[in-house]
Structure formats: C-alpha cells, structure tokens
Structure 1
Amino acid sequence: MPTTATISLTETDGPRVGARGWAALVVLMLPVLLVSVDNTVLSFALPEISTALSPSGVEQLWIIDVYPLVLAGLLVTMGTLGDRLGRRRLLLIGATGFALVSALAAFAPTAGLLIAARALLGLFGAMLMPSTLSLLRSVFVNREQRRLAIAVWASAFSAGSALGPIVGGFLLEHFSWGSVFLLAVPVLIPLLILAPILVPESRDPDPGRIDPLSIVLSMAAMAPVVYAIKEFAVDGVTPVVAILFVLGVGMGILFVRRQLRAETPMLDMALFRRGMFSGAILVNLLSVIALVGFLYYVSQHLQLVLGLSPIEAGLALIPGMGMMIVSGLVVVPIARRVRPEVLVPAALVFSLAGYLTVAFTTHAHGVAPLIVAFVLLGIGIGAAETVSNELIVTAAPPEKAGAASAVSETAYELGAVLGTTILGGIITAFYRNSLVVPDGVPAAAAQRAQETLAGAFSVAEGLPAATGQALQQAAADAFGTGVMATSLIGGVLVIGAATVAALTLGRRLGR
C-alpha cells in the first residue's frame, strides 16, 4: 500500500473537475442535509412528542437513539455492500426507503411504533451516508478540489442543523410533530431524479464479501454497550449493566478477530494501522459526542426552562450553526499551511471555551450565555470536522473509499448515540436525583414528573396554578444541576479529542 504522503502528492496533481462535478456535489449534499435537519428537528420536536405520546424516560432516549444505533451498526456492512454492488445504486435504494418510512413515522400513534419506524430509518440511512462520502472521493480526485468539496459537504451538516430549527419551529407551531418527518420527501425526490444523471457509479474491483456473521457481531457489539451506558447513567452499576458491557466488548473482540483472519474481510482492519486515519476517526467520534450532547439538552433548556417557542429556540441557535459553517470553510486555506496536529487542537480550544461558558452560567442568566457558548462550540467543531474528514478519505486507498467512508460515518453516528446516551443519560440521572416534588402533587403525576423534564411541565399544566408553578420551578432547578455537570463532562471530551489530534494526526503509515 502507498503511504499517506504518496497518496497526497498523487491526488494533488490529479485532474480537476468542472461544473458537472460540482453539480454532483450538490446532489450528494442532499442526504447529508436531510440527516442533519432530521436530528435537529427531532430534538426540537421532543417536547411535543413527549406530550403527545407520553413516552417514559427510557423510551424518550430510544426515540432519539435507535436510529443512529441501527445506522451505526450497519454502516460498515452497507459500505462494503456499496463497494460490491455500486455506491450510487445503494444510495438510490436507501433514499427510496428512507422517504417511504419517514412518511410512516409521521403518523406513528405510539412511542413504540415511532421507535420501530426510527429503527427502519436507521436501516435505510445506513445505505445513504457511506455512499455520499465515497462517491465524493471518486468524483474529486484532485486533493485541493476535494478538500474544498469535503468542507462544503461537511458544511451541509451545519447548514441542515441551522435550517432544521427554523423549518422545524415553523412546522411545530402550525402542524403536529409528525410533520417534521415529512421533510424527507421533498429533499430526497431531487436526489432520486438527479443522481442517475450527474453522479457516476463507482465500486471496489476487489470488495470484501458480505459476511452475515460479521453483521450480527457488529450489531451485538454496539447495542449491549450503548444500552449498558444508558442503564448506568440512570441506575448506576448493576449486574445487568456489567453483563451487557462485557457482552458487547466480547462481541467486538470476536468481530475484530474475524476480520483479521478472513481472506477477504468485510472491514479491512489494515486501515486502522494508519495513525492519521485512526486519529481522525477518534477526533470525529469525541467531537460529535460533545456536539450532539449539547444540542440534546440545550433544546429542552431553551423551550421548557426558558419558555421559548420552538422557532425562537431555533433562532437562538442560528449564530452557532452559522459559525460552524463559516469555520469549516475558512479552515480550508489554513489547512494548506498549518499541520493538522496543530490546527485541530487549536480549533477545539474554542469548543472547550463554549462548554465552560455553559458550565459556569446558570439558567438564571437567560439565553445570551447559551448563544455565546454555541458560537464558540460551533467554531471548534466546524473546523475540526472538516480537517478530520478530509484526512480520513485521504489516508485510505481509493479502492477502499466505501469502507473508509463507512468507518467515518460509523464514528459520527456512534458519536450521536453516545452523545445522547452519555450526556442525556447523565442529565436524566441528575434530574431524577435532584427533583423535589412539591406538596400537593398527586402520586401518579409526581411519578410522571420524575421521568422527564417535559413530563414535569406537562403535568404542571393540569395542576392548580400555585402548585403547577412550584413544580415547574423545581423541575427547572433540577435540570439546571445536570447542565453544569454535563457541560464539564463535555469539556473533558473536547480535551480528549484535542489530545488525540495532537498525538496522531501527524503520523503516517507505519508510525
């Protein structure tokens, strides 16, 4: 295999694409835009979903988590399948299924059925995401053009996150929560029409085989570990938590051993011997945990604790989302001159400052500290994600673009799961342990209030005015105690990402 340095030199001198290539980029941004809009909209719709479907605290987390969990478990499989069957073909299959299931999710009558629909969305979403990044690699063989293309591609995540609160806020103020799922249909129809025209097909001439046992092992590794983390955040260390964690780790070890021994593995483990590749994957994982965890609790804080409407809460996050886009684009010319092991840690200093801003300002200070905090967080995450994504596709050989893209997207989606699971679970635990239910609240209402913050505010509306206000204040105070602790943990994750970047992003193959 060529070294990373050889790949970089060759691809810098590769042919440059014209207008057709950039038009293909726009098409490939559509599923990325959709996923980011979906994640942000769902966070903002969560209070209304909680009121309409009355999910338990665990069900509320699973409504968010089951989609990225299934998606993360199947990304490597779908990346390999795309390498074999054709990346564009798999993209079109995934887009069709995603649009149809989104329409079904919009009318789910219970929390259980919504969770099931979200699981199916994860299946089809796994077909979408690896295909976009690997097809982008095949379209842009010139590294300078590809670096800009990846920055634009990555900015679609931020653009979708910025657009989501506005569109979602409008929909939630005029329609039911199910309307947020119907957004997938108008986004994916242009993809289905234009992708066959503008995006060339590509595949690996020597792909890894589809191994059913490896698929089962990958899912069996992720699901128990994530569920164990959920239970640990709520109930602490229990025998069930220990058993699930050991089971997940054991299945992960078996998956890796199977790949190492297979003549044509489903996932080429040699990719991870590239220090730059592995380091960039870890930076993505830790950064996304920090970002998604922040969005999970800040959306509830803005709407329930501070009393903003969905669209007002969305507008409050626009400056941070905008800075995420800007920093992702501005970092492109800087990356030509500054080494990644210096640039990424420097960018993440801004994200650390954002988390510290939240940690040391309480909800009594209003919206302004949260806006400032998210601007700082967005600057760091936008720059770090652009650089790390470009390094991931550069460090892998072109014929393994699907597998490398799948690993990158797995890190992103696993980060989304863990962001909600770890940081969301910690806030849930702090909330339950800190909530003091005022006198006069019926037992059944008190039990629902202790499940979630949204449940407490919903219960309070049906109580006498004085009792309801007292319950809302107690719930807000309990939630606020979790925000400080969770923000400090988010800061530690950012420090971890910066440390990994400093130690690994300057490494080449064999180092």
Structure 2
Amino acid sequence: MAAGTLRTAPAGTRAGRREWLALSVLMLPVLLVAVDNTVLSFAVPAISLALNPTATGLLWIIDIYPLILAGLLVPMGSMADRFGRRRMLMVGSLGFTAVSVVAAFAPSANALIGCRAMLGLFGAMLMPSTLSLIRNIFTDAGQRRTAIAIWAAAFSGGAALGPLLGGLLLENFWWGGVVLLAVPMLIPLAILAPLCVPESKDPAPGRIDTASIALSFGTMVPLIYGIKALATEAPGPGSLLPLLVGLVGVVLGVVFVHRQLRQRTPMLDVRLFTNPVFSGAVAANLLSIFSLVGFLYFVSQHLQLVAGQSPTRAGLTLLPGLVMSIVTGLLVVRLARRIRPAFLVATGLLLNAAGYLTVLLNGSGSESGLLLAFVLLGSGVGMAETISNDLILATAPAAKAGAASAISETAYEVGSVLGTAVLGSILAAAYRFHVSVPDSLSAQAHEGARQTLGGAINAAASLPPGQAAELIGSAQRAFDSGAGVVAAVGLAMMLAAAAMSLLTLRRVARG
C-alpha cells in the first residue's frame, strides 16, 4: 500500500509497527504546541519587563491564543473530518511555525497579542487532527488508551521541556527566542508526516455549513471573553458590558444547538452531550486544565520575580511535577484494566485539590512547598487527562473523531482561558489592593507599578535604592497576598469536580 494511504482498520484490530511509527510523528505537533504554551507562560516575567504591558494586556497575551483556538476548534475539527485530517495537520503546522517567527520579533504588547491570535487560528487546525488520527489509527481499546496516554505524555513532556529550554534561552537571549522553539519541530514533521501518517476523513461528510461555523465562533469567543472580563471587573457599571457580551454568546449558543439538531449531517452532533459519560469526561478535562494553568500562571512569576530564581532554576523547580504528569498518565493505562474510570478520574482531581491544599496550608513563600504542591497537581492532571480524553473519543463514532477531538480540545482551551482569567484576575485584584506605590513616580510608571509585579520592578529602576527596595518588597508581598484565595478557589473547584466525576462516570466498566 502506498505511503500515507493506510485506511482505518476494522474496530478491534491491533496496531502494528507502522501505526506506532505514525503515532511518533503525530507527537511532533503536540510537542510544538505544548512547548509554545509553557514557554510563553514561563516567559511572562521577561515579557512584562520588556514590553511593559498593562495587567489586562499581560492576561490578553496569554489568553488570546486559547480564546481564538477555542472558537475555531469545532469548525476546524469538522473541516478535518471533511477534507482530511493529515492535510489539516500539515497546513496548521506550516502556518503555526511561520507566525511563531513573526511573534518572536513583536515590537509591542499589541503586536504580540495579534500574533498570538493568528497562532490560535493555526493551532485550531493542529490539535483535533492529532487526536482524531489517533482515534482512527488505534481501534483496539487497550492500544488506543495507551496511544492517548502517550499523546498526553507528549503534552506534559513538552511542558517539561519548555521551561528548561526556555530558561536557557531567556538567560542568554531576548524573550522572543523562546517562541522560536517551535520552528525546528516543523522540519521532521514536514518530511515524515506524508510518509508515515495515514490520511483519514469522514466517508460521508455533510456540506460545509458556514452559518454553523459563524455561530460556533460567535458562541465561544463572546462567552469566554465575557467570563474573562467579568473576572477582572469589580461589581458595578464596568461589569455590565462583559455581562452583555457573555449573554450574546449564550444566545448564539442556543441558536447553534437548535441548528445542529435540525441538520441531517450536523457540524457538531450535540446529542453526544446527552450521554453523561461524554459530558462528565469533557467537564473533568476542562477543570483539570483549569487547575494546572491557573497554578502555572502564579508559580512561574513567584519563582522568578519573588523568590529571585533564574529562569533555568525555576524550570528545574517545576520539572518534578511535570515529570509526574507523564508518569501517572502512563501508569493509569494499566490501572484502568482493574479500576473503574470514575475512580481514576476522581483520584486525579483529588490530587489536584491536594496540590492547592498544600499551598493553602504552607503559603507561597516555601519553595519546597510549591514543589510538593506542583508534584501533586501534575500527578492528578496526568491521571485525569488520560482517562477523560479516552472516554471522550471512545464515546463518539470513529467517523466523527475530528468533531469529538475538537470538543476535547475546546474543553482544554476553555480551561486554559478560565485558569488564567479567574485565578490570574484574583491575583491581580489582590495585588492592586495591597501594593503601595510612592507618589514620586511619573503617572505612567505609577500606573504600571499598580498593574503588575513586573511593572513595579521596572518602575523601581527610576527610584533611589531605599525607595526601590521598599516598592519591590511591597509589590512582592502584594503579589503573594492572593495565593491563599487562589488556593481556596482551586481546592473548592477540584473537590466539586471529583464529586461530579464519580456521579457521571459511575456506570463505565473498567478495562
């Protein structure tokens, strides 16, 4: 059979060497996106110092990518089902890499935000394609779960690799160097994907439904933006606009669902959500990532701007937790043969809760406490993500793997947005409330110091040594003042998520 033309095997057929080779190639774009996400979050202090964004701008640099990504994942997953998943993967990889080069040289915060938006467009082509190809290549349930665990491990591995490589680059080059890490990953992908990865698509796709595409994007973007903006606005007149924008997203979402129910071949089969297993797995996926991204947003800044660690040292501090996410993701495949998925997912979410409880009990000042907290959190994410992704794909028909994968990825990205928006905004609010800024600063420096910890460090450079030390100390204490509140919110959400998982997934048998 010609290279790249392997078709989906009959259900239950065990994969051979060719299929596992295809999986290794599919890990390249996963690593690309994982490294990019982690490096950028890790480079927040350097970006904050170099581009001097406002607190809102800093959040947008992180959030615009998953915001656009979440809005386009479902349409791009449907397009991949129709036009070919490997083809969509290649287009997304080429575009993602090209825009990464431009983003690395962004001269301002606004320019970086624009590049991140374009990365969201091409990223939406990448991730549903990888998961849906895995769903169609590995039809044996046990092998599919192992493949998904490796897929999740590649995400964690990229997250682990990102801080280490990023730390070395940040210590020797400008912040844009970390964004260029995506470029060398394209070369082997461009060569090997056409040779090793089989093309697959929906054998009976519906017509391109432009109205559904517009409604999908019009639902996700206003809804996520509204949630993000409400998290940053204090109650009052300023919160009215984000509330109205969020309501627009809800209304468009209702119209979208109604349209899908009326279509003979819908872009997204929303009836999947009537299955409690599917819905519960999607929710567990979202909330697990919420806990991880929210924690990383805080801890990366604390380790570098408060504890004074170098980027490389901070990356090494986080490495054990990221490694544990790989270990538990692979270990849970064996446990799934003996233990019901409900208990495994709930255990993972309870480990996330234990991580936040560690911060709550020990505060953010102890580096060893933060290391332990992240080890617990990473272990929980590895377990919960592997099993929840497997349940999402196993519940959906193979022909609709792209759409199901898109839902899984949408949950992932919405969790990312909410993690930085909600927990990041709690931190920002606590910082603004507690920081003490001297009146001798210029208006611009004064506002920058009130907005972010990086802004305060920049502003301190213009002050006499005594005042500079006083401002930096106040800013560091103000930043950490939100740690307890963040930990309490994270703990409560993970406990509720564990209970939800036990309820919705209780009927799924082990194996």
TM band (smaller chain): over 0.9
Alignment of 1:403-482 (within 5 A): 403-438=403-438, 440-482=440-482
Q: C-alpha deviations, 1:327-376, integer Å up to 9, x for none?
A: 101111111111111221123222111101112223433x1110000001
Question: Partner letter of residue 21 of structure 2?
Answer: A
- Give the aligned partner of residue 207 of structure 1: 205
Question: What is the aligned counterpart of 1:119 among 117, 120, 145?
Answer: 117
Structure 1 contact 86–203 (Cα < 8 Å) conserved: yes
Q: How far 1:12 sits from its partner (Å)?
A: 11
Is 1:276 matched with 2:274?
no
Match of 2:380 in 1: 380
Can you give the 5+ residue segments of structure 2 that lack an aligned partner in the other structure?
1-8
SS at match of 2:362: coil
Alignment check: 8 A CA contact 2:224 2:414 kept: no
1:61 to 1:52, Cα distance in 2 relative to 1, 3 A: same
Q: Is the Cα–Cα contact under 8 Å of residues 148 and 329 in structure 1 kept in the other structure?
A: yes
Deviation sequence 1:261-317 (CA, Å, 0-9, x none): 222211111221222111100100011111101001110011001111111110100
Give the corresponding residue for 1:395: 395
| Partner Cα separation in structure 1 for residue 327 and residue 193 of structure 2 | 27
- The question of whether the paired residues in 1 share the 8 Å contact of 2:364 and 2:370 is answered with no
Q: Which amino acid aligns with 1:55?
A: P
C-alpha contact (below 8 Å) 1:438/1:470 kept by paired residues: no
Summarize the Cα distance change of 1:12–1:193 in structure 2 as closer, same or farther, 3 Å threshold: closer
C-alpha deviation, 1:227, in angstroms: 2.4
Contact 2:70 2:221 in 1 (8 A): no
- Check the 8 A contact 1:440/1:467 in 2, yes or no: no
Matches within 5 A, 1:24-103: 24-103=22-101
State the partner residue of 1:287.
Answer: 288
Change (3 A) 1:270 1:225: closer
CA distance in 2, matches of 1:508, 1:386: 15
CA contact (8 A) 2:42 2:300 kept: yes
Contact 2:340 2:508 in 1 (8 A): no
The superposition leaves residues 389-412 of structure 1 with CA deviations (integer Å, 9 ceiling, x where unpaired) of 111111111111111111101111
Report the Cα offset of residue 443 of structure 1. 3.9
Contact 1:15 1:141 in 2 (8 A): yes
CA shift for structure 1 position 236: 1.9
1:213 Cα deviation after fit: 2.0
In the alignment, the residues of structure 1 paired with residue 355 and residue 156 of structure 2 have an alpha-carbon distance, to the nearest angstrom, of 17
Normalising by structure 1, we get a TM-score of 0.94
8 A Cα contact 1:208 1:267, kept in partner: no
Provide TM-score, normalisation by structure 2: 0.94
Q: 1:463: Cα distance to partner?
A: 1.5
User: Equivalent residue for 2:3?
Assistant: none
TM-superposed deviation, 1:13: 7.4
> Match of 2:360, as an amino acid?
A
Q: Distance in 1 between matches of 2:443 and 2:51?
A: 20
Query: Which amino acid is 1:358 matched to?
Result: V
**In structure 2, distance between residues paired with 1:285 and 1:269:** 17
Deviations 1:55-103 (A, max 9, x none): 1111111111111111111010011100100101110111111111111
* 1:272/1:208 CA distance change after superposition, 3 Å: farther
Which residue type is aligned with residue 306 of structure 2? V
Tell me the alpha carbon deviations over residues 192-211 of structure 1, each in whole angstroms, 9 at most, x when there is no partner: 11011111110011224322
Q: Which residue of 2 aligns with 1:300?
A: 301
Q: Secondary structure at the match of 1:364?
A: coil
Residue 245 (str. 1) matches residue 246 (str. 2):
yes
Moved more, 459-468 or 85-94: 459-468
For 2:51 and 2:210, locate their aligned partners in 1 and report how far apart those are by CA, in whole Å. Answer: 36
- Aligned-partner Cα distance in 1 for 2:221–2:244: 13
Residue by residue, what CA displacement relative to the aligned partner does 1:164-216 show, whole Å, maximum 9, x if unpaired?
Answer: 10000011111111111111111122111101111111001122432222222
Mapped partners of 1:227, 1:131: distance in 2? 26
Deviation at 1:442, TM superposition (A): 4.2
- Segments of 5+ residues of structure 1 without an aligned counterpart are 1-10
**What is the CA RMSD across the aligned residues, in angstroms?**
1.6
- Quote the residue 1:8 is aligned against: none
Query: Structure 1, residues 429-455: CA drift from partner, whole Å, max 9, x if none?
Result: 111122122464444322110111111
Tell me which amino acid in the other structure corresponds to 2:327: V
* C-alpha distance in 2 between matches for 1:352 and 1:342: 15
- CA distance in structure 1 between the aligned counterparts of 2:351 and 2:322, rounded to whole angstroms: 14
Q: Measured at CA, do residues 277 and 485 of structure 1 come closer, stay the same or move farther in structure 2, by a change above 3 Å? A: same
| Alignment partners' CA distance in 1, 2:358 and 2:338 | 31
Q: How far is 1:488 from its partner? A: 1.2
Q: Distance in 2 between matches of 1:282 and 1:256?
A: 18
Q: What pairs with 1:254-265 in structure 2 (closer than 5 Å)?
A: 254-265=255-266
- Work out the CA distance in 1 between the residues paired with 2:112 and 2:443: 28
Partner letter of residue 411 of structure 1?
Answer: A
Counterparts of residues 349-364 of structure 1 (less than 5 Å): 349-364=350-365
Aligned-residue sequence identity (percent) comes to 56
Alignment-derived partner of residue 183 in structure 2: 185
Instruction: Provide the rounded CA distance (Å) in 2 between the counterparts of 1:434 and 1:225.
Output: 30
Alpha-carbon shift at residue 481 of structure 1 (Å): 1.4
Residue pair 1:340, 1:501 contacting (<8 A) in 2 also: no
Contact map agreement 2:67 2:225 (CA 8 A) in 1: no
* One-letter amino acid of the structure 1 residue matched with residue 393 of structure 2: V
Whether the aligned pair in 2 keeps the contact of 1:286 and 1:415 (CA below 8 Å) is: yes
Count of equivalent residues: 498
Query: Distance between the aligned counterparts of 1:231 and 1:413, measured in 2?
Result: 17
Q: Which residue of 1 aligns with 2:233?
A: 235
Most deviating of 124-133 and 415-424:
415-424
Distance in 2 between residues matched to 1:223 and 1:13, nearest whole Å: 37
Structure 1 CA distance, aligned partners of 2:38 and 2:459?
25
Counterpart among 106, 109, 129 of residue 108 in structure 1? 106
Quick check: 1:79–1:403 contact (8 Å CA) kept in 2? yes
SS at match of 1:376: helix
